[in-house]
Amino acid sequence: MSEIAPEDLATSRYFDQNFGLPAIKIMPGEYYVATRPMVLVTVLGSCVAVCLRDVVKGMGGLNHFMLPESGEEQDGPVSTAARYGGYAMEVLINHLIKLGARREHLRAKVFGGAQVLAGAARQAIGERNAQFALRYLAAEGIPVDAQDLLDVFPRKIYFFPATGKVLVRKLRDAQGGGLAHREARYQKRLVRASVSGAVELYEPPGEPVRPPAAAAEDSIAESRPDRGPVRQPAAPLPTANK
């Protein structure tokens, strides 16, 4: 298993006035685990975020990662991409377990994988990220309660670990604020970086990603533990206790 990596923990903290809660902003390559009421926030383009929650303990965490580009035809279980993705997932899972979560109580929600990077070769990066996340969770036996994947719009994610609620806002290009540029720089770092430490690998099954519904306007998808995303017209964000 991967060791917990404190250097990957998000450290950008603020107080969200809309929700009346402490908030953590999670950047590419980071993750965070919360054991008290707060909101975990991240903006996704091609990257994927997995929201994991122990439904018994009422605690959870979120990661934000992208697979490095691979020159191989398939991202097999021992490829560099699979090793990096496995590391990103295991660090989050192991931190949850260290704080008292149990694997059998974990449930997931998965977001991201949009096509925001320029160039034909990079348009499949989001789909590869989404496929990896779903295959990893299936291999680990972690149920996926909701997903909002692919498409061409960046997403801003608000995850409330205490309740399992997730708010998803689709962003127009101007609202992305240079997201594609940040992700391109992150991708270059991944190409140069090597993942240290042991990584638990697996043989990924071939479950396909569900294609998203078309979206031409900004929207908010509200995801609760008992059902999948429900789309609503764009509006000021609701309070956390709605």
HSE (side-chain half, CA atoms, 13 Å) at 61: 24
pTM metric for this prediction: 0.73
- pLDDT-derived band at 145, boundaries 50, 70, 90: very high
Per-residue confidence (pLDDT) for residue 25, from 0 to 100:
96
Average pLDDT value for residue range 27-34: 92
63-81 confidence digits (pLDDT tens):
999 886 654 444 454 456 6
Predicted confidence (pLDDT) at residue 88 exceeds the cutoff of 60? yes
Residues 6+ apart with CB under 8 A from 26: 10, 12, 32, 40, 41, 42, 49, 62, 63, 64
Indicate the DSSP class of residue 9. Answer: B
166-211 confidence digits (pLDDT tens):
999 998 764 445 666 666 566 556 544 444 433 333 333 444 444 4
Mean pLDDT over the full length of the chain: 75
Indicate the DSSP class of residue 240. Answer: T
Better-predicted residue by pLDDT, 239 or 91: 91
Q: Which residue do the tokens 């690998």 mark?
A: 201
Compute the C-alpha angle 240/34/231, nearest 5°: 40
Per-residue confidence (pLDDT) for residue 176, from 0 to 100:
47
The set of catalytic residues is 47
Question: Hey, what CATH class is 6-233 in?
Answer: alpha beta
- pLDDT-derived band at 123, boundaries 50, 70, 90: low
| SS3 assignment, position 112 | strand
User: Over pLDDT 70: what percentage of the chain?
Assistant: 59
Rounded Cα distance, 105 and 85, in Å: 22
- The residue extents of the domains of the chain are 6-233
